[in-house]
Every structure is written in C-alpha cells, then in structure tokens.
Structure 1
Amino acid sequence: MKVRPGTSADVPRALAIWRAAVDATHGFLSAEHRQEIDGIVSGFLPEAPLWIVDDADLPVGFLVMDGDMIDALFVDPAVHGRGFGSALIAHALTLAPAALVDANEQASNALPFYEARGFVRIGRSELDSDGRPYPIVHLRYAGPARA
C-alpha cells in the first residue's frame, strides 16, 4: 500500500470519499450542519495538500496535514478495515512524528481507530472548531499502541 501526493485530478474523488465516509460515520450531524460542512470541505480540498492512498489505481482514502496536525483523514467506507487508514496514519507519522489529531467524539469509529494506533487523549472541547455542538477529542501520537 503506497501513499502518494495528490493532484488536482484527485480532488473530485477525495470529495466523494469524504461525503461517503461522513454519511457512514457522522449520522449525528444535523442536515443543516452536514450541508454547511460540505460547502467548507468543497472549498478547502482543492487548495489542500492531499496525500492519497489507492486500491488498484483508484483513490480510496486521503490525508491532509497542516504541520503536526492531521487536518483530515478519510477512507471510503467500502474499504474500511482493509488497512488504508493505517497506511495514511503511517505516512502522517513520517511527516510529523508527534502528530496531533482532533476527532469527533460522536463518530464511534474515530477514537478507537486513533487510540489503536498509539494516539492518546490530551483534551476535549465541547464544541467543534466552528462552534457547532459536536464535542471534539484532541489526541497526540504517543508511540506504538500496546496490546
């Protein structure tokens, strides 16, 4: 599994991955907030430094980093559990060995995913970064997870 730099040609597929992943894992979002966030992501992705993971030459996941912060990591739900998210995390850690990430507390898959890969909770915010009522858990990479 290889992670590669994204290109402008990858943006429509990355947006489709984001939409499918959010629809599968973020059922807690109100319809209004889901639409609002979609607009933000649609404007953000074309300018974002994308990293893409492919499955048979089809992008199935993407990563966006801002310094040590994992700004976005999403995988097509059709391939969840097949290691694509782990490959993106491994790549993120080559870019930022002390990576940070914020995860929606209500997304039942997010915290177990990051914690299983060595991230630990370092804080919590009652609201998301835009003031919406979706608690965020702040995490930092602390080294390989121990079984």
Structure 2
Amino acid sequence: MPEVSVRPTIGAAEYPALTAIWRSAVDATHDFLAEADRDEIEARLQSDYFPAVVLSVAELGGRPVGFAGVLDESLEMLFVDATQRGGGVGTALLAHAIREHGIMTVDVNEQNTSAAGFYARRGFEVVGRSATDDAGRPYPLLHLRLREAVPIR
C-alpha cells in the first residue's frame, strides 16, 4: 500500500476534488446533519471556506484522499474520503497540521462521536462546548485543545 503524503493545495483548481472528498466524508460521518444544512455548507466551500484557511492535501498514489484547513493555531477542517477512513490519512493530516502549522485547537461536532474519539486518542481534551455550530445551527460543538505536544505518527 502506498504511503500517505501531505502537500499544500495547488489552489482553486483543486477545490472541486476537495469538495468531492468533503461530500464523501460528510455522507459517511455526519448523519445528524440535515440535508438542507449539508447542501448550504457544500455550496459555500469553494467560495467562502476553502479560501479562508491554509489547505493541505493528503495523497495516496498521487491521488487526493483527504484535506485539512488551518487558521492560526486552529484546525478548522479535516476530511478524509470515506473509502480511506481508518487507513492513516487523518492521522497524517493531523500530524502535519501540528508539526507544520502549530495547531493547538479544533472544534468537533458533538454528534460526530468517531471524530471526537479520533482527536481524544491523539492528545486532545474537551475544554468547552457550544450549543450550536458557528453559523447558529443546532449542532453542538466540542472545543478541544491539544494537551501537550505529543508525536503523532
């Protein structure tokens, strides 16, 4: 099996591929998300959300399979194609974000228990909770902070 590599995004030309990864990941992990909310978020990915962060792309065999977006010391997004879940792509993206961008915090949907567990196993702890997401939708967020600089492989 090829090794996961992480690189910067090549820019807006890559946004459609990242949107497809996002959709695959969200369909697999965000069953709590109302269809209208999912569609509204997806419609804003390329115009609003991707340009607002520093994007890194995970590849397997030269093919994008996941991405992460960082703003300051916060991991704003991390999504892995559903067919690659559990294969180390998310861990590689998180390790890159910590090592290269110094991220210390991430918010995760409370209903996304697999993501909350993923971050907990990698040294993050809950330091707060919001009853809604950043857009005021009824999806509680857990605010996580990296306990210490632990090496993630």
TM-score w.r.t. the length of structure 2 is 0.88
Matched, 1:7 2:13: no
- Which residue does 1:37 correspond to in 2? 41
Identity of aligned residues (%): 41
- Which residue does 2:91 correspond to in 1? 86
- Which residue does 1:111 correspond to in 2? 116
Offset, 1:95? 3.0
Larger mean Cα displacement after TM superposition, 28-37 or 83-92: 28-37
How far apart, CA to CA, are the structure 1 residues paired with 2:88 and 2:41? 27
Which runs of 5 or more residues in structure 2 are unaligned? none
How far apart, CA to CA, are the structure 2 residues paired with 1:133 and 1:46? 23
- Structure 2 residue matching 1:19: 3-state secondary structure: helix
How far apart, CA to CA, are the structure 2 residues paired with 1:115 and 1:97? 18
Q: Deviations over 1:38-93 (max 9, x none)?
A: 12223235524210110000000101100101011000010101101000110111
TM-score w.r.t. the length of structure 1 is 0.92
Matched, 1:72 2:77: yes
Matched, 1:16 2:20: yes
- Structure 1 residue matching 2:134: 3-state secondary structure: coil
- Structure 2 residue matching 1:28: 3-state secondary structure: coil
Aligned-CA RMSD value: 1.6
8 Å CA contact 1:97, 1:141 repeated in 2: no
Which runs of 5 or more residues in structure 1 are unaligned? none
- The residue type paired with residue 15 of structure 1 is T
How far apart, CA to CA, are the structure 1 residues paired with 2:114 and 2:94? 15
- Which residue does 1:50 correspond to in 2? 55
Report the number of matched residues: 145
Offset, 1:32? 1.4
